[in-house]
């Protein structure tokens, strides 16, 4: 434990996790999923650490979603026994997936191509094992997944259902296009599309004699505003544990809910240019452009005071290089109060990417640092 260490005294740049906010965020989503009648299989890629994941699974069956096999191995060693690897698997990683699965009760992978299913069947047959897979469905995001309106999707689903070497776990989708909404109402409309696409496709498969065991959906935006999840069995939101500037900008949470921030120091003070230089750049925040569909000049994060947490609306993170960030004032006196050596907190546009750039998080309650969490890295 690191009690009596004040987070404002830490060397910068440093990643901070507000434990009170994380606990509140995870409890709220957990209760919401119970109310909507679905299993919660939270995504853990936002933080990639065991301690945060344990808050997410409280009161649910304990299954999680990961984005890398390194995460699956790490969380498996920590006692998480039911894991979905929610990226369409590359055939070259199948041998590794079989190894990881051997140490778990269940490892589900994703497929959306017949060639991948063929490779899975060949690997499973050679190793004398049975693999488990979801069929990835495109609900409108157009990143990955089968077209649920196509005959080919039905054929692949039936082939998966009948495979002697691969267990058909069900259907899975992700409404990533919900992030393009400008209001909760627009996000809710995308969520309704996500749900209806999956329910219709599940009904088609049921009629064809291949009823899916699970119908899995979810993003933090859509799960935060859904009115009904009838026909859905499982939800996989993840970002809600930390939230970020993007989620707050589209109305999914408030800025006060954001549990992750980066503490930086002012290392340059240029009142004649109305600019500050900070010691956090692209390797602290990433270059995610954020909610530019709402504010084209939003910059790379929301700046808040390190003293009282209030948003400093007169300042913007205008540009990032690798280790430097340039803050510009919106008026001639905005930067005068931040001399070299002063500190600021920044709520990043995308907490998942920003968090992935740090090898540890300093976990706080109030003014104190109480723990250090070490996330897993790699693929």
* pLDDT tens-digit readout, 29-77: 999 999 999 999 999 999 999 999 999 999 999 999 999 999 999 999 9
Q: Is the pLDDT of residue 3 over 60?
A: no
Q: Is the pLDDT of residue 2 over 70?
A: no
Domains 19-241 and 255-349 equal at CATH topology level: no
Phi/psi of residue 95, nearest 5 degrees: -65, -40
Q: Token pair for residue 364?
A: 């706080």
Residues 6+ apart with CB under 8 A from 34: 40, 59, 60
Three-point CA angle 295, 344, 353, nearest 5°: 60
Q: Distances from the Cα of 265 to the Cαs of 31, 180, 324, in angstroms?
A: 38, 32, 11
The predicted model scores a pTM of 0.95
- Map residue 83 onto helix, strand or coil: strand
- Across the chain, mean pLDDT equals 96
**What is the reported pLDDT for 80?**
98
Query: Predicted confidence band at 334 (pLDDT cuts at 50, 70, 90)?
Result: confident
Q: Of all residues in the chain, what percent carry a pLDDT higher than 70? A: 99
Q: Token pair for residue 130?
A: 């049975």
CATH topology classification for 255-349: Lyase, Ornithine Decarboxylase; Chain A, domain 1 (2.40.37)
* pLDDT tens-digit readout, 155-193: 999 999 999 999 999 999 999 999 999 999 999 999 999
Domain positions in the chain are 19-241, 255-349
Decide: residue 341, CB within 10 A, 0-12 exposed, 13-18 middle, 19+ buried. Answer: exposed
Q: Is the pLDDT of residue 350 over 80?
A: yes
Q: Is the pLDDT of residue 331 over 90?
A: no
CATH topology classification for 19-241: TIM Barrel (3.20.20)
Q: Distances from the Cα of 369 to the Cαs of 54, 243, 334, in angstroms?
A: 19, 20, 30
Bridge-based pairing of strands 106-111 and 82-88 is parallel
CA 6 – CA 165 distance, rounded (Å): 55
Residues 6+ apart with CB under 8 A from 362: 2, 7, 10, 14, 15, 16, 17, 369, 371, 372
Query: Predicted confidence band at 1 (pLDDT cuts at 50, 70, 90)?
Result: very low
Residues 6+ apart with CB under 8 A from 11: none
């Amino acid at each position: 434990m690191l009690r009596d260490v004040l987070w404002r005294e830490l060397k910068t740049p440093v990643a901070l996790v507000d434990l009170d906010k994380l606990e509140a965020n995870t409890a709220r989503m957990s209760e919401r999923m119970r109310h909507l009648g679905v299993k919660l299989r939270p995504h853990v890629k936002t933080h990639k650490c065991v301690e945060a994941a344990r808050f997410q699974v409280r009161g649910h069956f304990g299954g999680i979603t990961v984005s890398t096999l390194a995460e699956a191995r790490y969380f498996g060693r920590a006692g998480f026994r039911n894991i979905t690897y929610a990226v369409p698997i590359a055939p070259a990683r199948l041998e590794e997936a079989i190894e990881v699965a051997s140490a778990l009760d269940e490892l589900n992978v994703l497929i959306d191509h017949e060639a991948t299913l063929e490779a899975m069947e060949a690997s499973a047959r050679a190793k004398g094992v049975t693999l488990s897979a979801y069929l990835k469905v495109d609900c409108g995001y157009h990143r990955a997944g089968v077209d649920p309106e196509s005959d080919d999707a039905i054929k692949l689903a039936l082939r998966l259902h009948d495979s002697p070497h691969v267990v058909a776990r069900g259907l899975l989708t992700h409404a990533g296009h919900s992030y393009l909404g400008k209001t909760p109402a627009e996000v809710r409309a995308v969520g309704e599309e996500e749900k209806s696409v999956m329910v219709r496709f599940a009904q088609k498969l049921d009629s064809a004699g291949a009823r899916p065991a699970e119908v899995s959906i979810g993003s933090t935006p859509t799960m935060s505003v859904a009115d009904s999840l009838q026909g859905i069995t499982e939800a996989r939101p993840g970002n809600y544990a930390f939230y970020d500037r993007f989620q707050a900008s589209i109305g999914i949470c408030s800025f006060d809910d954001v549990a992750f921030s980066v503490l930086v120091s002012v290392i340059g003070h240029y009142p004649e240019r109305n600019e500050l230089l900070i010691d956090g750049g692209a390797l602290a925040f990433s270059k995610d452009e954020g909610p530019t569909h709402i504010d084209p000049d939003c910059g790379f994060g929301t700046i808040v005071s390190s003293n009282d947490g209030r948003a400093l609306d007169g300042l913007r993170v205008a540009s990032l290089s690798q280790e430097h960030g340039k803050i510009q004032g919106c008026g001639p006196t905005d930067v005068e109060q931040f001399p070299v050596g002063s500190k600021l907190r920044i709520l990043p546009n995308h907490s998942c990417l920003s968090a992935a750039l740090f090898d540890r998080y300093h976990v706080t309650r109030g003014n104190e640092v109480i723990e250090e969490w070490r996330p897993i890295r790699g693929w």
